[in-house]
């Protein structure tokens, strides 16, 4: 290396500065992402893993994403609050990449408080998160049901229009919600505009700006104690040597950029969204954990190459209780899709896989797995960029032996039937990632955790890990 006049030589002062900077980031950070179309069981896995982390931070989506956690047969359905809230000593953060419906948030917090969960001083909401208001729901519901429009299959909870306003630089952030003078002006202007648009395009009934302001001014007062600059909180936690788990919503194939567009969500559901949606630096992320079911499901419209619209699909739905946690809608079901799983691994940088609902396959004598695609009779390794491209896909299946015995509740890998272990080994090899955990039932304790995986999560945080 050539020395430059006026600068210290490598190995002296520059090295000291470099090492000092490295020491600033002592904490560990991991991202959990869905490797399919969402509903992979991230809620349970975040709950199980949160024992090893001081903070769980949600980075995208809104209250259209439901995480179901079952603890000692008691069910918790979380839509906005990260699953870490169910662990004592674990703080929960709603990041700036989330769109927050204040009414939904307060309802969820109230239900948690009533259930004996510590929420006050334990949940933190970004002052930069965007706010969902009633006109967002009005616009989305009207648009989804308008004649001639392509149905996306949204929850009609205002998520998409809220993100539209964010990108259009006309949104309301949580910090603005707490400024009542600004809130009134924003609602008056926005309601006037949205009422005109909704009436002209969809003949919708107008919303009352005064009534909306009164409701949300009251809500703002109740939301205020939870609000802070969460980017500062998270970065300080890392500097203090704490461990953070970033919780994704939906799944990779619903990502606004990399999913089956336009049948996607309105946010960055992939691991990259954790950086954008919380304000931590990319080099803060140590590992990415991908969650996949042992088969495949999808809610709503859009491509699904390995879908089974027959008795086999019905059996998967029944055994897996495949109904949306938020909407109750029946999920479409099908076989594991390895091309999509490999794609998710590439996009997210997945190093560890968690396989959920293995027990759903217990009764099958053989299990089809999609191992590749053909388009126009030719094998392909690429994922089509257009939804229409999926219509040409012919799945190439390989049938693996089933195990025809119960795996429900098994907590040790060596106790699984050999065909089940072989199925997981095949999945891992094809996906190019290690198996870190296997879920064998709905309860928190129905989980197999691999020792090597646990070792990567151990931290020096007092009382954690």
Q: What is the pLDDT of residues 65-96, one digit of tens each?
A: 667 777 777 788 889 999 889 888 899 999 99
pLDDT value for 421: 98
pLDDT value for 84: 86
Specify which residues 84 forms β-bridges with. Answer: none
When pLDDT is cut at 50, 70 and 90, the band that residue 153 belongs to is: low
pLDDT tens column, 394-430: 999 999 999 999 999 999 999 999 999 999 999 999 9
Task: Give the residue among 286, 270, 281, 256 at the shortest CA–CA distance from 346.
Answer: 270
Average pLDDT over every residue of 40-47: 89
| Contact between 156 and 144 (Cβ < 8 Å) | yes
**pLDDT averaged over the chain?**
88
| Contact between 27 and 239 (Cβ < 8 Å) | yes
Residues forming the active site: 39, 67
Task: Using the predicted structure, report yes or no on whether residue 278 has a pLDDT greater than 90.
Answer: yes
When pLDDT is cut at 50, 70 and 90, the band that residue 5 belongs to is: very low
Tell me the chain's radius of gyration from C-alpha atoms. Answer: 23
When pLDDT is cut at 50, 70 and 90, the band that residue 1 belongs to is: very low
| Alpha carbon of residue 264 to chain centroid | 13
When pLDDT is cut at 50, 70 and 90, the band that residue 4 belongs to is: very low
pLDDT value for 145: 62
Annotate 328-365 with DSSP letters as a single string.
-PBPEEE--BHHHHHHHHHHHT--EEEEE-GGGGTT-S
pLDDT value for 444: 85
pLDDT value for 2: 41
CA distances from 172 to 100, 176, 191, 287 (A): 10, 6, 13, 33
Average pLDDT over every residue of 272-280: 97
CA distances from 247 to 39, 88, 325, 329 (A): 13, 17, 17, 23
| Contact between 136 and 63 (Cβ < 8 Å) | no
Most confidently predicted of 3-12, 41-50, 165-174: 165-174
pLDDT value for 173: 98
Specify which residues 397 forms β-bridges with. Answer: 370
pLDDT value for 228: 98
Q: Where are the alpha helices (DSSP H) in 224-309?
A: 230-239, 272-276
Q: How far apart are CA 370 and CA 355, in angstroms?
A: 16
Q: How far apart are CA 94 and CA 98, in angstroms?
A: 7
Residues composing the chain:
465
| Alpha carbon of residue 164 to chain centroid | 20
The DSSP code for 309 is: -
Intra-chain end-to-end CA distance of the chain, in Å: 42
Higher-confidence position of 204 and 458: 204
Place of tokens 């490295």: 22
Pairing label, strands 366-375, 378-380? antiparallel
Angle between helical axes of 338-348 and 418-431 (0-180°, round to 10): 50
Pairing label, strands 287-293, 29-34? parallel
Average pLDDT over every residue of 231-260: 95
Question: In this prediction, what percent of the chain has a pLDDT beyond 70?
Answer: 89
The set of residues, in sequence order, having a beta carbon less than 8 Å from that of 420 and lying 6+ positions away, is 358, 403, 407
| Contact between 124 and 96 (Cβ < 8 Å) | no
Higher-confidence position of 7 and 306: 306
Q: How far apart are CA 371 and CA 120, in angstroms?
A: 48
| Contact between 338 and 430 (Cβ < 8 Å) | yes
Q: How far apart are CA 253 and CA 248, in angstroms?
A: 13
pTM listed for this prediction: 0.88
Place of tokens 């809608």: 329
| Contact between 63 and 55 (Cβ < 8 Å) | no
């Amino acid at each position: 290396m050539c020395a430059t006049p006026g600068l210290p030589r490598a190995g002296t002062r520059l090295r000291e500065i470099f090492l000092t900077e490295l020491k600033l980031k002592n904490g560990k950070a991991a991202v959990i992402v869905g490797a399919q179309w969402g509903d992979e069981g991230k809620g349970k896995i975040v709950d199980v893993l949160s024992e090893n982390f001081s903070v769980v931070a949600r980075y995208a989506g809104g209250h259209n994403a439901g995480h179901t956690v079952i603890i000692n047969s008691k069910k918790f359905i979380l839509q906005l609050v990260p699953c870490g809230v169910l662990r004592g000593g674990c703080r929960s953060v709603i990041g700036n990449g989330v769109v927050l419906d204040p009414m939904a948030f307060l309802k969820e917090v109230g239900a948690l408080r009533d259930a004996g969960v510590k929420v006050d001083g334990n949940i933190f909401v970004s002052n930069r998160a965007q706010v969902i208001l009633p006109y967002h729901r009005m616009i989305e519901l009207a648009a989804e049901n308008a004649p001639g429009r392509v149905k996306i299959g949204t929850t009609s909870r205002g998520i998409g229009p809220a993100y539209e306003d964010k990108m259009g630089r006309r949104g309301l952030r949580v910090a603005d919600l707490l400024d009542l003078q600004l809130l009134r002006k924003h609602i008056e202007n926005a309601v006037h505009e949205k009422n005109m648009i909704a009436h002209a395009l969809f003949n919708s009934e107008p919303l009352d700006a005064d009534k909306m302001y009164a409701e949300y001014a009251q809500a703002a007062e109740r939301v205020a104690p939870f609000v802070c600059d969460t980017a500062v909180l998270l970065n300080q936690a890392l500097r203090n040597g704490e461990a953070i788990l970033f919780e994704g919503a939906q799944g990779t194939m619903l990502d606004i950029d990399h999913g089956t567009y336009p049948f996607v969500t309105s946010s960055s559901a992939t691991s990259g969204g954790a950086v954008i949606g919380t304000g931590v630096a990319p080099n803060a992320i140590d590992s990415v954990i991908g969650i996949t079911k042992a088969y495949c499901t999808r809610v709503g419209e859009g491509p699904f190459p390995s879908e089974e619209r027959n008795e086999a699909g019905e059996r998967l739905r029944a055994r897996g209780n495949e109904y949306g946690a938020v909407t109750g809608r029946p999920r479409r079901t099908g076989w594991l899709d390895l091309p999509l799983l490999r794609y998710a691994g590439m996009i997210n940088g997945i190093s560890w896989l968690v396989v959920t609902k293995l027990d759903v396959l217990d009764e099958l004598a053989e299990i089809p797995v999609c191992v590749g695609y053909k388009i126009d009779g030719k094998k392909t390794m690429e994922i089509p960029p257009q939804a229409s491209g999926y219509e040409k896909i012919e799945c190439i299946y390989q049938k693996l032996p089933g195990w025809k015995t119960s795996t429900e509740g098994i907590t040790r890998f060596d106790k699984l039937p050999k065909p089940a272990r072989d199925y997981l080994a095949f999945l891992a090899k094809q996906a190019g990632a290690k198996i870190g955990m296997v879920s064998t039932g709905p309860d928190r304790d129905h989980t197999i955790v691999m020792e090597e995986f646990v070792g990567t999560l151990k931290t020096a945080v007092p009382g954690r890990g």
